[in-house]
């Protein structure tokens, strides 16, 4: 964690700010390793403080050896104020996107005359570049999802409910070591496949239907996110056409990824395949997003994002076609960007499967 704290201190020096207040759980974990549900960090130019209540003091000492653990004896804002006074803090960076206005007012009034400086974007930026430790955990989370896809294939048959597939996926992942699912699984069959976020329902799968499964897990805090679409029984010509178009778009998008390409250019390259095939109106979401401690992080592979991809970023590539009244297809992999090449983390077979 020390190298991550150094980045915070470098930022404080560059911006001439006295300290950084961290309240978002994922950022707390990223910078300290602490996983308790109650805590805040204050990082100054020379000291690290972790404030938590009596339930987590021993845990904090074990997980965050680089921090001075402060047991919360009163309101946490009052403890923050005490540290600000003790350290003579005049300016403190904070995560403005984590505070509703009422919470901001509480902090503003309690900490006066300390000046609160919005700095969420900096944390978003540094977390977008994964270090070696993070990559190892992400690969493990993806491997579990790959295993889950292979496991679930024999369960997919006419008469089984979408939600039963989702439950079996989650049970398998947890049994294999996942601590949780990374989001509510999407299992959308038949016409429900036209719903990009078709959370698993009580609908029974029928012969001849496409089934889209979007799922992933959390392993030691890090997420996976993959999507596969399969067909149950006889495959129709339009189903095959749509699948092949989405697969072509996905491969084109992946092959275009490299360091220093604009996010919007990757989106455009994949989207052009679907547009040229006449299905552009049925692909409404962006091509992909970053994945890490959260399943949706920066960067976004979107047509309005001119940010450059950088080594260390992990992104999804997930084009789709969703036709109301007919169904849909989405295929999604996770990709790690290196200096001179890319690494597809998802290893699962993605040519069209008819089961």
Structure tokens at 245: 């178009």
State how far the Cα of 128 lies from the Cα of 150, in Å rounded to an integer.
Answer: 30
Q: State what percent of residues in the chain have pLDDT above 70.
A: 100
| Long-range CB pairs of 272-281, under 8 A, 24+ apart, other chains included | 273/245, 273/248, 273/249, 273/319, 274/245, 274/246, 274/249, 274/319, 274/321, 277/245, 279/242, 279/245, 279/321, 279/323
State how far the Cα of 24 lies from the Cα of 30, in Å rounded to an integer.
Answer: 10
226-231 and 222-223 as β-strands: parallel, antiparallel, unpaired?
A: unpaired
- The angle subtended at Cα 350 by Cα 349 and Cα 355, nearest 5°, is 85
The residue among 334, 345, 182, 327 whose CA lies nearest residue 243 is 327
Residue 139: what pLDDT? 98
Cα-based distances in Å from 69 to 3, 30, 46, 59, 172: 20, 17, 15, 10, 37
State how far the Cα of 114 lies from the Cα of 84, in Å rounded to an integer.
Answer: 8
210-215 and 115-118 as β-strands: parallel, antiparallel, unpaired?
A: unpaired
Class at the top of the CATH hierarchy for domain 2-127: alpha beta
Evaluate the CA torsion angle 283, 288, 294, 295 in order and state its sign.
Answer: positive
Asked if pLDDT for residue 1 goes beyond 90, the answer is no
Residue pair 141/217 in contact by the 8 Å Cβ criterion: yes
The residue among 247, 178, 187, 194 whose CA lies nearest residue 215 is 187
CATH of 132-344, one of 3.40.50.720, 3.30.450.20, 1.10.10.60, 3.90.230.10: 3.90.230.10
Range 165-182 average pLDDT: 98
SS3 135: helix
The residue among 153, 219, 156, 223 whose CA lies nearest residue 183 is 223
pLDDT category of residue 23 using cuts at 50, 70 and 90: very high
Domain boundaries, the chain: 2-127, 132-344
State how far the Cα of 150 lies from the Cα of 350, in Å rounded to an integer.
Answer: 11
The torsion angles phi and psi of 321, rounded to 5 degrees, stand at: -125, 130
Asked if pLDDT for residue 35 goes beyond 80, the answer is yes
Structure tokens at 115: 């000046």
Residue pair 293/223 in contact by the 8 Å Cβ criterion: yes
Residue 250: what pLDDT? 98
Whole-model pTM: value is 0.95
Which residue reads 């491997």 in tokens? Answer: 143
State how far the Cα of 215 lies from the Cα of 187, in Å rounded to an integer.
Answer: 8
Residue pair 219/141 in contact by the 8 Å Cβ criterion: yes
Asked if pLDDT for residue 37 goes beyond 80, the answer is yes
The residue among 224, 211, 227 whose CA lies nearest residue 315 is 224
Burial 141-156 (b: 16+ CB within 10 A, else e): bbbbbbbbbebbeeeb
310-355 residue pLDDT tens:
999 999 999 999 999 999 999 999 999 999 999 999 999 999 999 9
Q: State what percent of residues in the chain have pLDDT above 90.
A: 98
109-165 residue pLDDT tens:
999 999 999 999 999 999 999 999 999 999 999 999 999 999 999 999 999 999 999
223-277 residue pLDDT tens:
999 999 999 998 999 999 999 999 999 999 999 999 999 999 999 999 999 999 9
């Amino acid at each position: 964690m020390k190298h991550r704290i150094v980045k915070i201190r470098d930022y404080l020096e560059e911006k001439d700010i006295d300290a950084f207040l961290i309240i978002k759980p994922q950022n707390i974990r990223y910078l300290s390793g602490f996983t308790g549900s109650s805590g805040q960090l204050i990082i100054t130019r020379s000291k690290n403080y972790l404030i938590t209540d009596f339930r987590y003091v021993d845990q904090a000492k074990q997980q965050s050896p680089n921090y001075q653990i402060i047991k919360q004896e009163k309101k946490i804002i009052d403890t923050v104020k005490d540290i600000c006074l003790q350290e003579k803090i005049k300016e403190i960076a904070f995560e403005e996107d984590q505070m509703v206005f009422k919470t901001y007012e509480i902090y503003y009034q309690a900490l006066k005359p300390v000046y609160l400086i919005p700095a969420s974007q900096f944390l978003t930026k540094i977390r977008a570049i994964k270090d070696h430790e993070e990559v190892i955990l992400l690969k493990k989370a993806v491997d579990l999802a790959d295993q889950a896809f292979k496991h679930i294939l024999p369960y997919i048959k006419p008469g089984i409910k979408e939600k039963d597939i989702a439950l079996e996926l989650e049970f398998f992942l947890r049994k294999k070591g996942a601590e949780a699912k990374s989001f509510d699984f999407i299992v959308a069959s038949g016409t429900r496949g036209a719903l990009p976020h078709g959370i698993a329902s009580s609908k029974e799968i029928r012969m001849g239907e496409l089934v889209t499964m979007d799922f992933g897990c959390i392993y030691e805090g890090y997420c996976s996110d993959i999507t596969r679409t399969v067909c149950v029984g006889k495959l129709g010509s339009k189903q095959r056409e749509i699948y092949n178009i989405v697969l072509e778009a996905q491969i084109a998008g992946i092959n275009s990824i490299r360091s220093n390409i604009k996010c919007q250019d990757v989106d455009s390259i994949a989207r052009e395949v679907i547009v040229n095939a006449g299905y552009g109106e049925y692909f409404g979401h962006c091509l992909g997003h970053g994945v890490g401690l959260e399943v949706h992080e920066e960067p976004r592979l979107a047509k309005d994002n001119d940010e450059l991809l950088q080594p260390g970023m992990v992104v999804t590539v997930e084009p789709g076609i969703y036709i109301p009244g007919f169904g849909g297809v989405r295929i999604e992999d996770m990709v790690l960007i290196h200096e001179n090449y890319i690494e597809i983390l998802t290893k699962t077979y993605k040519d069209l499967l008819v089961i």
